[in-house]
């Protein structure tokens, strides 16, 4: 029997797997084909910087397979509605994006390790955590909308165990 070789062509396109991702992990620009696309994503694509309330959409990615975000700092207007769109371009690593109180990224991550993957590696109902995405797998994306905190400097971090030591930055509310 030699029929098995017919499957070999599936590997010709390394991007082909993107089309098999669950709907909620498909990048926003690809959601037009998904009737179940999250309504919050629709206005953002045509109005990247809504005015009037300081509302903003902030995009962040990772540096390939390195345990680093592609931004060292982010900023938003205090009290504004902010949507962080986190794209995980890594081909192998799972990450999240969490906004935490200044100086707490390592402690929050340590407690997140105890909380486990079912809680997205984040401590549950922890006042140090201001906002966070769920875990985002390789090649997927996730977003979170929240009200930017009061003026000051905060931290963002990936709380996947071990990533917090290199995968963080400052979040400035001004």
Q: Does 105 participate in binding Cu ion (rule CB under 5 A)?
A: no
3-class DSSP state of 136: strand
Task: Return the half-sphere exposure (C-beta side, CA atoms, 13 A cut-off) of residue 141.
Answer: 19
Nearest to 158 by CA among 71, 101, 96, 79: 96
CA distances to 8, 19, 42, 60, 146 from 23, in Å: 26, 9, 14, 20, 22
Complex with Cu ion: residue 85 or 95, whichever CB lies closer: 95
Supply the minimum distance, in Å, between the C-beta of residue 33 and Cu ion: 29
CB atoms closer than 10 angstroms to residue 49:
9
Report how many residues bind Cu ion under the rule CB under 5 A: 5
Give me the least distance between CB of 162 and Cu ion, in Å please.
Answer: 8
Of 95, 108, 128, 143, which one interacts with Cu ion (CB under 5 A)? 95
160 binds Cu ion (CB under 5 A): yes
| Nearer Cβ to Cu ion (44/132) | 132
Indicate the residue among 56 and 98 with the shorter CB distance to Cu ion.
98
Spatial separation of the C-alpha atoms in residues 62 and 28, rounded to whole Å:
17
Single residue of 26, 84, 148, 158 touching Cu ion by CB under 5 A: 158
Footprint on this chain of Cu ion (rule: CB under 5 A): 95, 158, 160, 163, 167
């Amino acid at each position: 029997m030699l029929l098995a070789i017919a499957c070999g062509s599936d590997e010709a396109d390394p991007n082909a797997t993107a089309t098999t991702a669950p709907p909620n992990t498909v990048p926003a620009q690809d959601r037009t084909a998904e009737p179940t696309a999250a309504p919050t994503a629709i206005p953002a694509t045509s109005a990247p910087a809504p005015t009037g309330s300081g509302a903003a959409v902030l995009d962040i990615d990772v540096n390939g397979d390195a345990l680093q975000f592609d931004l060292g700092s982010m900023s938003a207007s205090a009290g504004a509605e902010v949507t962080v769109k986190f794209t995980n371009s890594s081909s192998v690593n799972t990450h999240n994006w969490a906004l935490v109180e200044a100086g707490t990224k390592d402690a929050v991550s340590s407690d997140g390790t105890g909380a486990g993957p079912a809680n997205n590696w984040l401590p549950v109902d922890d006042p140090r955590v201001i906002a966070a995405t769920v875990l985002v797998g390789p090649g997927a994306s996730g977003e979170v909308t929240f009200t930017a905190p009061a003026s000051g400097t905060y931290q963002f971090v990936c709380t996947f165990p071990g990533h917090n030591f290199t995968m963080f930055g400052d979040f400035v509310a001004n």
